Amino acid sequence: MASERRRAQWRAGSKRYQAKHAVRRNAVRLAQLAEVTTRYDPLPALLTTLTIPGPAHGLKIAVIPDAQVRPGVPINHLAACGRYLTEIRPNVIVCIGDFADMPSLSTYEAPGSLASEGTRYAEDVAAVKAAMTTFLTPIRAVKDWKPELILTLGNHEDRITRAIIFDPRRLQGVMSLKDLGYGEAGWKVYPFLQPVVIGGVCFAHYFPSGPMGRPITTARQILHKMHMSCFAGHLQGRDIAYAKRADGTSLTAIISGSFYQHNEDYLSPITNQHWRGMMVLNQVKDGEFDEMCISVDYLLRKYT
């Protein structure tokens, strides 16, 4: 009899737990879906090709993956990266998106939940601006070098746009992507998921696929679906795949979306052990290049 009562109590407790979390899941599911698909936000335009002058053997392009800057996270690796770039002097610096984390606008926590309590939009923006200044200060100090600064917005920056769309009466004119100061800092900014081609390589925060526009999650799939050399962020770690066109031209696809020191709360201790760093693409020409991986550990060890 006692064991039956315990089982009944366990079942009742389990149902209460499931009901509680089902409410949370149902409350945020549509917002989550909108953030990581193109279902409610079609691609803004076809790919844009930029013609950037460079040496005959090809451009040198530095790629800054997702920095996920938010209040309280370390940013000294960004200063170290800025110093490193002054030494190698790339022709182009591409920030692949999600430089900002914007936890105050997260759709992954229900409004009023413990995880969202205390987050503030103004604090998020101030942290992003401070981090961008930290990164660009050593670069601006070099008088005879002015790289092209290209930034493709990520889904975390797009949280600002989506927040306005979901609550236009309250937020229209109150907040804007311009609050992040990217344009003022010298970046040429492209909308979320707008593909940008430089030297025959297509850059975007991620490449959507299928009717729902979900991110392509492996470099091999990017080559299979996009049929050109590509670079994406969004996913942690690094994934690189190679192929050849019929004429023998090499194709390379890279996914690299973690350029930070902190751990993400939603990941386990094991999955937080992903590679973190930035990339340099050397001799970028007609979609071919030599990639070089620069880890956060290396930057911190050498430049701090």
CATH code for the domain in which residue 216 is found: 3.60.21
The string of pLDDT tens digits covering residues 34-84 is 455 544 455 556 678 999 999 999 999 999 999 999 999 999 999 999 999
What angle separates helix 121-140 from helix 76-88, to the nearest 10 degrees? 30
Note whether residue 44 is domain-resident: no
Q: Do residues 296 and 159 share a domain?
A: yes
Same domain, 92 and 3: no
Question: Is pLDDT above 50 for 133?
Answer: yes
The pLDDT score that the predictor gives to residue 271 is 77
Nearest to 43 by CA among 196, 222, 235, 213: 213
Residue 9 structural domain: 1-35
Pairing verdict, β 188-190 and 230-232: unpaired
In a domain, 57, yes or no: yes
Q: Residue 234 in contact with residue 260, Cβ under 8 Å?
A: no
Residues 157 and 271 in one domain: yes
What pTM was estimated for this model as a whole? 0.83
Residues 26 and 146 occupy one common structural domain: no
SS3 203: strand
Average the pLDDT over each of 15-19, 103-107, 218-222, 235-239 and give the range with the smallest value.
15-19
pLDDT confidence of residue 283: 97
- Shared domain for 1 and 118, answered yes or no, is no
- Eight-class DSSP state of 20: H
pLDDT for 25 equals 39
Q: Are residues 24 and 111 in the same domain?
A: no
